[in-house]
Amino acid sequence: MMYQFPDHFLWGASTSAFQVEGGYQEGGRGLATTDVQKIPEGRADTKVAADHYHHWREDVSLMAELGLKTYRMSFSWSRIMPDETLAPNPEGLAFYDQLIDALLENGIEPLVTLYHFECPQALVDAFGGWKSRKMIDAYTAYAKVCFSHFRGRVKKWVTVNEQLIAVAASNLNGNREKDPVKYMKDMYQMSYHISLAEHKAFSLLKKIDPEAMIGPVCAIQVVYPLTSKPEDVEAAWQAEELMEFYMLDMSVRGEYSPFITSYLKDHDYYPETDREDVSVLKDSSPDFIGINYYFSICAKQKSGPINYNQPPFWVSDLYDICDNPYLQKTEWMSMGVDSKGLRTGMEKVYQRYQLPMIITENGMAVSETPDESGKIDDHYRIDYLHAHLEQIYRMLQEGIHIMGYCPWSFVDVLSSHQGFSKRYGLVYVDRTETDPKQCSRIRKNSFYWYQNVIRCNGIE
Ligand code: BG6
């Protein structure tokens, strides 16, 4: 039996600039925050990554062979604007000109993220990056260059990838604050600045290219209560509000919910604001929401003191994040695999905002090497993607507006913080943590499987 997807469904695949490109000091590119982060000995870094900077022609051919309708990528801000003068770098723009044109020639629509975890390190050195309101102007200047230069060629833009991680991860955003309480406060201030920057970009795009679409990408947090104890249920919904909906509310509605407003005030996290911000936040809204989903999580009633020794977005006096005993875990998917969670999360987003959605990331990480015959039989990845596509099909059947699906990742890329052994790609990249070799490309079995899905426009 075939589950047929709608005509014009955007079958895609994803990468991001610092994880795929390499060429970190080529073509006039400035250093990015992600280039200067401290990497443990023996782990791959951004210098070569998947060497897409030198393999982009081959990569576009592979995308065409796969049958992609869209390619979800990001621009490296520091390739386009290397430093704090904010002067555009013609060589950087020329690199993306070639790539975008090659995609379009192959009938592949680019879906471009402006900010995927990295910015020029010069902006952090000059004024602290997102901690400062100056970053809003820098981002708006960058967005203006991109929207104008690629007008008519890039018709779908993402403002910011996963604001949750972008503000929490110091290795990505360059926030070196040591005091954990101040760090939390910074996080909300940075988040507020990002929301303002996003809204400025929404308005700007409508002026520069009214036909184009724009939206945020959200790391949806599907948080189950550990038990039916009311305190666990309360912990779970509060975790979803604090890890997902407060940012989406700001992107879509331009305001915090009453729960978040009082939470931020009670904790002395409420950001500094200016009077004119209200109109910036209220006068624009996104056209769609991008959804990143890998796994669900579980929460229970808070007990004991606040634990700062965990990812900042899990730090809370309202909930404890805990293991879900019902899910199967793997080496890299330590929270478990849960395809139903995708639907649970997306249904909530749709009910709350009624905006079209596109899955911009979804995938399974495994450490892989080719077998003796040189093949990669990633049947586990095929199972993972298939199970998630079944959930998408169910939502489409209900009439939920889902524009497309972009598994993470097109080729193996550098993990956001765990090197190159953590592989998600449909295409294998032949390198180790410490030896980039030639970064040759090998199609995995999931490549052929996905090619058939696209060809049939559906799954069995
Ligand atoms: C998302 C990011 O959070 O998850 C990607 O948008 C990232 O950049 C992906 O690579 C997988 O996470 P990780 O940490 O395994 O690379």
- Going from the Cα of 166 to the center of ligand 1, the distance in angstroms, rounded, reads 11
* Cα–Cα dist 233/226, whole Å: 8
Q: What does the pLDDT average to over 18-37?
A: 97
Question: In 10 A of CB 55, how many CB atoms?
Answer: 21
Q: What is the pLDDT of residues 284-300, one digit of tens each?
A: 999 999 999 999 999 99
* CA of 413, closest atom in ligand 1: 10
Nearest-CA residue for atom 4 of ligand 1: 416
Q: What does the pLDDT average to over 107-135?
A: 97
At residue 1, does pLDDT exceed 80? no
* CA of 365, closest atom in ligand 1: 15
Q: Which residues line ligand 1 (CB under 6 A)?
A: 16, 19, 161-162, 165, 219, 292, 361, 365, 408, 415-418, 422
Question: Which of 76, 220, 361 most suits a substitution to test ligand 1, by most atoms within 8 Å of the C-beta?
Answer: 361
For residue 38, name the pLDDT band (cuts at 50, 70, 90).
confident
Helix (H, G, I), strand (E, B) or coil at 177: coil
The pair of three-digit structure tokens given for residue 429, joined into one six-digit string: 């990249």
The pair of three-digit structure tokens given for residue 402, joined into one six-digit string: 């889902």
Q: What does the pLDDT average to over 39-68?
A: 97
Question: In 10 A of CB 418, how many CB atoms?
Answer: 13
Between strands 427-430 and 440-443, the pairing is antiparallel
Burial 194-206 (b: 16+ CB within 10 A, else e): bbbbbbbbbbbbe
Q: Which residues are catalytic?
A: 162, 361
Q: What does the pLDDT average to over 144-156?
A: 98
**Residues 147 and 210: beta-carbon distance below 8 Å:** no
Output the pTM of the full model: 0.97
**Residues 12 and 406: beta-carbon distance below 8 Å:** yes
Burial 21-44 (b: 16+ CB within 10 A, else e): bbbbeebbbbbbbbbebebeeeeb
Angle at 134 between CA 131 and CA 137, to 5 degrees: 125
Where is 420: in which H helix or E strand?
Answer: none
- Going from the Cα of 416 to the center of ligand 1, the distance in angstroms, rounded, reads 5
Q: What is the pLDDT of residues 96-119, one digit of tens each?
A: 999 999 999 999 999 999 999 999
For residue 59, name the pLDDT band (cuts at 50, 70, 90).
very high
Helix (H, G, I), strand (E, B) or coil at 192: helix
The pair of three-digit structure tokens given for residue 58, joined into one six-digit string: 């081959």
Question: Which of 366, 415, 429 most suits a substitution to test ligand 1, by most atoms within 8 Å of the C-beta?
Answer: 415
Alpha-carbon distances of 364 from 367, 411, 415, 434, rounded to whole Å: 10, 13, 12, 23
Residues 6+ apart with CB under 8 A from 399: none
Average pLDDT, the chain: 97
* CA of 332, closest atom in ligand 1: 15
* Cα–Cα dist 4/411, whole Å: 26
**Residues 192 and 267: beta-carbon distance below 8 Å:** no
- Going from the Cα of 267 to the center of ligand 1, the distance in angstroms, rounded, reads 29
Q: What is the pLDDT of residues 80-98, one digit of tens each?
A: 999 999 999 999 999 999 9
pLDDT of residue 256: 98
* Cα–Cα dist 391/341, whole Å: 9
Question: Which of 408, 414, 421 most suits a substitution to test ligand 1, by most atoms within 8 Å of the C-beta?
Answer: 408
- Going from the Cα of 124 to the center of ligand 1, the distance in angstroms, rounded, reads 22
pLDDT of residue 119: 97
Residues 6+ apart with CB under 8 A from 316: 238, 239, 242, 302, 306
pLDDT of residue 435: 97
pLDDT of residue 213: 98
- Going from the Cα of 432 to the center of ligand 1, the distance in angstroms, rounded, reads 19
| Closest to 115 measured CA to CA, from 198, 54, 29 | 198
Q: What is the pLDDT of residues 222-276, one digit of tens each?
A: 999 999 999 999 999 999 999 999 999 999 999 999 999 999 999 999 999 999 9
**Residues 423 and 367: beta-carbon distance below 8 Å:** yes
pLDDT of residue 171: 86
The pair of three-digit structure tokens given for residue 36, joined into one six-digit string: 């200067």
* CA of 418, closest atom in ligand 1: 14
**Residues 177 and 134: beta-carbon distance below 8 Å:** no
At residue 424, does pLDDT exceed 90? yes
Burial classification of residue 403, based on how many CB atoms lie within 10 Å of its CB (0-12 exposed, 13-18 middle, 19 or more buried): buried
Angle at 99 between CA 96 and CA 100, to 5 degrees: 85
Angle at 394 between CA 389 and CA 396, to 5 degrees: 90
